[in-house]
Amino acid sequence: MDFKDYYVSLGVAPDADQKTIKKAYQKLAKKHHPDVNPGDTVAEAKFKEATEAYQAISDPEKRRKYDELRQDYQQWQSRGGRGDYDYGRWQTNPGGGRSQTHTMSQEDFAEMFGGAGRAGGFNGMDGDEYSDFFSTLFGGGGGQGRGFSGGSPRVRARAGQDLEVEVQVTLDEAYHGTTRVIRTGEKQIEAKIPKGVRTGSKVRIAGQGGPGISGGPSGNLYLNITVSSHARFVRDGDDLRTDLAIDFYRAVLGGEVSIHTFGGEVRLKIPPLSQSGKKFRFRGKGMPNLEHPLQQGDLFAVLSIVLPEGMSEQEITTLRDLANKRGANEELKV
Q: How many other C-beta atoms can be found within 10 angstroms of the C-beta atom of residue 167?
A: 19
Q: What is the mean pLDDT of residues 62-74?
A: 91
Domain boundaries, the chain: 1-75, 163-227, 233-306
pLDDT at position 176: 96
Q: Which of 10-19, 182-191, 265-274 has the lowest mean pLDDT?
A: 182-191
pLDDT in tens, 250-262: 988 999 999 999 9
Q: Please give the sequence-ordered ranges of beta strands (E in DSSP) within the chain, or none if there are none.
A: 163-169, 178-184, 187-193, 202-205, 221-227, 234-236, 239-247, 255-261, 264-270, 279-282, 299-306
pLDDT at position 245: 92
Output the pTM of the full model.
Answer: 0.51
The CATH code of domain 1-75 reads 1.10.287.110
Q: Which of 21-30, 68-77, 123-132, 273-282 has the lowest mean pLDDT?
A: 123-132
Q: Are 75 and 82 in contact (CB under 8 A)?
A: no
pLDDT at position 213: 75
Confidence of residue 94 (pLDDT cuts 50, 70, 90): very low
Higher pLDDT, 64 or 310: 64
Closest CA to 117 of 224, 52, 35, 50: 35
Q: Are 152 and 106 in contact (CB under 8 A)?
A: no
pLDDT in tens, 104-163: 545 555 555 554 444 444 444 555 567 888 888 887 543 333 344 333 334 467 788 889
Confidence of residue 190 (pLDDT cuts 50, 70, 90): very high
Q: Which of 126-135, 198-207, 293-302 has the lowest mean pLDDT?
A: 126-135
Q: What is the mean pLDDT of residues 178-186?
A: 88
Higher pLDDT, 6 or 331: 6
At 143, give phi and psi (nearest 5°). Answer: 70, 30
Higher pLDDT, 313 or 240: 240
Higher pLDDT, 108 or 238: 238
The percentage of residues in the chain with a pLDDT greater than 70, rounded to a whole number, is 81
Closest CA to 167 of 176, 156, 178: 178
CATH number for the 163-227 domain, one of 3.30.70.920, 2.60.260.20, 3.30.70.330, 3.10.20.30?
2.60.260.20
Q: In a 3-state reduction of DSSP, which class is residue 203?
A: strand
Round the CA-based radius of gyration of the chain to a whole number and report it. 37
- DSSP letter for 272, please: T
Neighbouring-strand partners of residue 164: 222
pLDDT at position 330: 60
Same fold, 163-227 and 233-306: yes
Q: Which of 145-159, 191-205, 284-298 has the lowest mean pLDDT?
A: 145-159
Confidence of residue 184 (pLDDT cuts 50, 70, 90): confident
CATH class, domain 233-306, is mainly beta
